[in-house]
Structures are given as structure tokens and as C-alpha cells.
A = this chain, B = another copy of it.
Amino acid sequence: MGPNAEQRPPVMADVAKLAGVSHQTVSRVLNDHPNVRAETRTRVMWAIDELGYRRNLVARALVTRHSRTLGVVSFDSTLYGPASTVYGIEQAARAAGYFVSIVSLRTIDRAGVTDAIGYLAEQGVDGVVVVAPQRSAARALDDLPAGMPAVAVEGGHAGDVPVVSVDQVEGARLATLHLLDLGHETVWHVSGPADWLEAEGRTEGWRAVLTAAGRPVPEVLAGDWSPRSGYRAGKRLAAMADRVTAVFVANDQMALGVLRALTEEGVKVPEQISIVGFDDIPESEFFSPPLTTIRQDFGAVGRRSIDLLVRQIQSGGPLHERLVVPPQFIARASTSPLR
């Protein structure tokens, strides 16, 4: 092996030697430092090209103490909501010049989230976004490593940490009001799982509207977001079809299950029962009938949370903000006036 049998990728010193400058000048070129002669710059660029040099961001991170990487802790990113949120976050982070390191948890207990944040901290992320849609997960934000910038998405009352979320209560209000406006005496509700903050918010908004209007508040049918749980709720609703005329279902997947159950039992939607969902998944428009629902702007959630996180990283101090993204009502064919 001669001295040229180097297998290691070229480093800054190699570029410097080839260009006939010091490693520091190479660094300056790479970092767009103003005080470099144009001719020197081109010579360095040429050498970089010649050697196929790529800078080593790990070494840079060691000295700057900034990795330009953000951590994302998420949960079951197969569900449409979390998946879209994570996608939005990733897009926004990259636009802001950050990499994204993701940990998706299967179960979402506090310890799991704390561990995940710990791993990310060791890995040197500059900040974390925690998608913590459940109470228990949100609590993990209380034991953040000192000085770690963080943002909670859909995270409820998260202590010192700023929160970005879609206004669930408002969405539920829109849905429920729409049904009351159509002349329905009251509105039934198929809820999400108990521990989820989004589920709580939706139930709360629904209840608030009914109470404010002086309408009876029917018993809540509990679901777990899955189409199957909606199907079960739908069967129960069908059995009460003489009393039920309008239902607000806490997400579109469950609404699909409800629709299916009602169809099986011969209950017509929207003629006999009106249905409103939540999320506006891409499928909703093609349900039978097309689903009236509430759209959440996940892209906006991602952008806002990254913006908040980056501002914290730059300022050093924590921000006590609470950003709310408004939901949007989408009218389709699953609701009709009470005849």
C-alpha cells in the first residue's frame, strides 16, 4: 500500500493542500465568509469538486454545539392525523434548514416519551417537537432535559412548553351548530378514546353547544378512532333510529364505520340520520354519502410548531406561547335538514 491508498473520504485539510491554502480558508469558503478573495474561492471550490469532498457535519456539530437537527417524537404515524402532522413538520423543518430525526412510539406512556426525548438529547438535537395527543404523553414534557427547546403539538396544558394545536373545541362547535341549524332537536356523539386530548376537546365543544342551546345532551358513545369502533357505535345508533336524527362522530374513520352499520341496518343517511365527521381524510369525499366534516390544516400546524421551535433555539429562552390553528367546516352530502 502506497501512501495514496487512502480509503477515507477527503477532509478539509486535503482540500486545503490541493488548493494551496489553509484549512481555515476552506472553512471560510464553505461558510460563505465575506473576506475571501474571489480567485481563492474558485480555487477552493475547484479542489472540493476535484476530490469529491463533503463536509463532515458531525465534526462541525461537535464544536458549534448545534447539529441543525430537530427531534420529533410521534406516535403511531399510520393514523392520518399524526402522519400528516409529522409530514408537515418535516417539510417545515427542512425549509428552515434543519434535519429531522424521528422516534415513533408504539405505546405512549410518559416513560416512553421521556426516554425518546432523552435519546434525542444524547444525539444532540437542537430541539424537539413532541406530538403528544394524549394526556399521559403530554405529561412527559414536565421532565425535559434542562435547556432543551421544545414544542408540543396537540399537547394540551403542557407546563412551560409552547403548544400548537388545531382548535378542537371550535371544530366540534362548528359541527354541532351545523346540525342544530338544520333543525335537529339534539346531536348524538361518537367520541374518541378517553385519554386523547383531541377527543376531549371535540366532546367538550359538542357538549358546550348543546348546553348553550338548552338541548338535551345524549349519552356519549365511546370509540377508539378505528372504523370498527364506529361500526359498533353505528349498530347501537341504528337500534335507536327512532330517537336519533343527527350524529357528530369524532373522526372520519369512525364515521365510515357508522355509515356502514347504518347502511346494513337499512337506516338512510342523511334522510333519517345526518352525520358529521372530523379530519377530512382524502377518502371522506367519496364515502356513501360523501361526508360532511371538519378539516384540520396539518401543514399549518407543522409550520407553526417549527417556527416556534426555531425561535426558541435562536433566542435561547423558552416562549410561553399557545398557537391555535382554526379548523374548517366542509359541507357535503351526509347531512340534511330534519324533515
Contact = CB atoms under 8 A, between A and B. Distances in A.
Given A59-B62, A69-B101, A103-B94, A282 B123 contact: no
Interface stretch (A41-49, A180-188, A256-264): A256-264
A124 B56 contact: yes
Interface stretch (A16-24, A189-197, A284-292, A317-325): A284-292
Given A83-B78, A286-B256, A101 B104 contact: no
Interface string A49-80: 00010111111011000010100000011101
A61 B78 CA distance: 31
A107 to B, nearest CB: 12
A227 B69 contact: no
A283 interface: yes
Contacts of A287: 256, 260
Contacts of A77: 77, 83, 86-87, 90
Contacts of A118: 54
Contacts of A260: 286-288, 290
Nearest to A106: B91
A123 B263 contact: no
A74 to B, nearest CB: 9
Q: How many copies does the complex hold?
A: 2
A336 to B, nearest CB: 17
Nearest to A55: B122
Interface residues of A, number: 57
A256 B290 CA distance: 11
Contacts of A94: 103
B119 A227 contact: no
B104 A90 contact: yes
A49 to B, nearest CB: 13
A144 interface: no
A253 B91 contact: no
A153 to B, nearest CB: 16
A228 B259 CA distance: 20
Contact of A282 (B61, B86, B227): B227
A200 to B, nearest CB: 23
Nearest to A7: B147
A222 interface: no
A216 interface: no
Contact of A283 (B106, B121, B283, B288): B283
6 contacts: A57-B122, A58-B62, A78-B84, A99-B119, A228-B285, A288-B288
